[in-house]
Amino acid sequence: MVLDEVGTLLDLSRHWAKVCPDDIVYTFLSDGESDEENITYAELDRRARAIASELQNLGAQGQRVLLLYPSGLDFICGFWACIYAGVVGVPAYPPDPKRMDRTLPRLQAVVHSCNASYVLTTTNIKAMAEFVFPSDTPLTQLTWLSSEELQVAGEDKWGDPGITPNSLAFLQYTSGSTGLPKGVMIRHRNIIANERQLQKVSQSDKSFDLFSWLPFYHDMGLIIGILHGPCLGSRSVLMSPFDFLRKPIRWLNGITKYRTSGSGAPNFAYELCVQRIRPKDREHLDLSSWSMAGCGAEPVQAGTLERFVQGFSHVGFKKAAYAVGYGMAESVLSLTMTQVGIEPSILRVEADELSRGHAALSSSSDALHVVSCGPPHDGVEVKIVDPKTLEVCPDQDIGEVWARSDNVADGYWQNEEATAAVFSGALAGEPNRKFLRTGDLGFQYDGEVNVTGRIK
């Protein structure tokens, strides 16, 4: 397995560029349907080196570079260029000119937090920024670079930046449920660890192609859509989230057309397909290749899972394809996941007992249905902890979900207070073993993690 032989994403990309240079690594559907833009492993390597050489020439190694792109191959080349240059990429979404009062403040907060020096973007956004952003915004003080212009030539001037598994790969910004955005420090070793875990639970290999419409700047879209394919040497077919929202059947059409094995989304996307794809429009679908249907990033509803099976099993979707997972940006992506090929467990529990902090199994018709998020990945230690006593809760008692693993980040960028509060959980009597305090409430049953809510 290649993931056992490499230490960084740069190692991975260079490996596949040599082993299978002409294989397509990414296909982007610019219209969400048939307008393909393809890039091979060799061409990705060339473009990344070309952009990276200019970043190196500017002396940007080790600095933060804001990645300001819509969904598309430009983002992908810019992201990989940061890896090749040894700079710390910061994925972000361009503010909406129609809602500048709502979208610009968060972007400004990200720029202030990470102390970015450069912006990598498209030629159009670079030109638009001069007219859209107020002159006093921190964004105007940065050096703006168009990756489209930089990727044309210069790849031969690139030099290996000498990054290691402990080098920062990128900052994943998250605001959680409240507060200002915080930059999770994702190192190469964190990513490789989580990708190994995902590969094992999904039983994926080089033939495991993926389809994703998830936003590139979101952890699920970035890790599954952008990075999992190159970790396997396979192909990722991508489209914009807006194209999915306008016409949800495009997601399932894509899986059908490209015969992809893996694709995932939050619960709402499966529900949207059930509600908005008419029965007569489902008949041409063939979902039999879909062996890993990831579901996470928000509470998973048993009713949604069942309705999707009922609506699409006749065109090949299998309930055992569901891979329900739990995680967060602080753990790269996931901490637990149901094994591919095994239907997720759905527990029936008494509502009154659950509200009192205990998951009592019930056979009552009015019992609550709780969808299991599966067992912890290999190498992940999960504890359910009483947040007051800091003692481990008995099985089926509700407490805060704590985790330790190689894929858990070290903390937040230049935010010691938040890092201490979230990444330094210590069980009673064990002060030297630090855990990630997730802020989520849940319980364990039969070795699996079940999430029930948030502390806040």
Average pLDDT of span 239-262? 97
Q: Which two tokens stand for residue 317?
A: 């979707």
Q: Flag whether pLDDT at 103 surpasses 90.
A: no
Q: Flag whether pLDDT at 250 surpasses 60.
A: yes
Q: Flag whether pLDDT at 244 surpasses 50.
A: yes
Q: Flag whether pLDDT at 377 surpasses 60.
A: yes
30 with 37: CB under 8 angstroms?
yes
CB-count burial class (<10 Å; 0-12, 13-18, 19+) for 201: buried
Average pLDDT of span 281-297? 95
What is the rounded average pLDDT for all residues in the chain?
93
Question: CA 97 to CA 103: how far, in whole Å?
Answer: 8
For the chain, give the percent of residues with pLDDT over 70: 98
* pLDDT range class, residue 160, cuts 50, 70, 90: very high
Residue 363 neighbours by CB distance under 10 Å? 7
* The pLDDT of residue 1: 61
* pLDDT range class, residue 178, cuts 50, 70, 90: low
Average pLDDT of span 162-188? 88
Of 135-149, 191-205, 256-270, 388-402, where does mean pLDDT reach its minimum? 135-149
Residue type, 115: N
* The pLDDT of residue 102: 74
* The pLDDT of residue 42: 98
Q: Flag whether pLDDT at 177 surpasses 60.
A: no
* The pLDDT of residue 18: 97
pTM of the model: 0.95
pLDDT digits (tens, 9 = 90+) for 14-70: 999 999 999 999 999 999 999 999 999 999 999 999 999 999 999 999 999 999 999
SS (H, E, C) 5-54: CCCCHHHHHHHHHHHCCCCEEEEEECCCCCCEEEEEHHHHHHHHHHHHHH
Q: Flag whether pLDDT at 146 surpasses 70.
A: yes
Question: CA 156 to CA 171: how far, in whole Å?
Answer: 28
113 with 185: CB under 8 angstroms?
no
* The pLDDT of residue 299: 87
For the chain, give the percent of residues with pLDDT over 90: 82
pLDDT digits (tens, 9 = 90+) for 106-133: 888 899 999 999 999 999 988 887 777 7
Q: DSSP letter string over 204-252? A: --TT--EEE-S-TTSHHIIIIIIIIHHHHT--EEEE-HHHHHH-THHHH
286 with 317: CB under 8 angstroms?
no
What residues does CATH 3.40.50.12780 cover in the chain? 2-202, 247-454
In this structure, CATH architecture of domain 247-454: 3-Layer(aba) Sandwich (3.40)
pLDDT digits (tens, 9 = 90+) for 402-415: 999 999 999 999 99
DSSP state of 454: E
pLDDT digits (tens, 9 = 90+) for 206-216: 999 999 999 99
Average pLDDT of span 177-187? 83
Fold of 2-202: Rossmann fold (3.40.50)
Q: Flag whether pLDDT at 135 surpasses 80.
A: no
Average pLDDT of span 339-349? 93
Of 135-149, 316-330, 380-394, where does mean pLDDT reach its minimum? 135-149
pLDDT digits (tens, 9 = 90+) for 72-82: 999 999 999 99
pLDDT digits (tens, 9 = 90+) for 319-333: 999 999 999 999 999
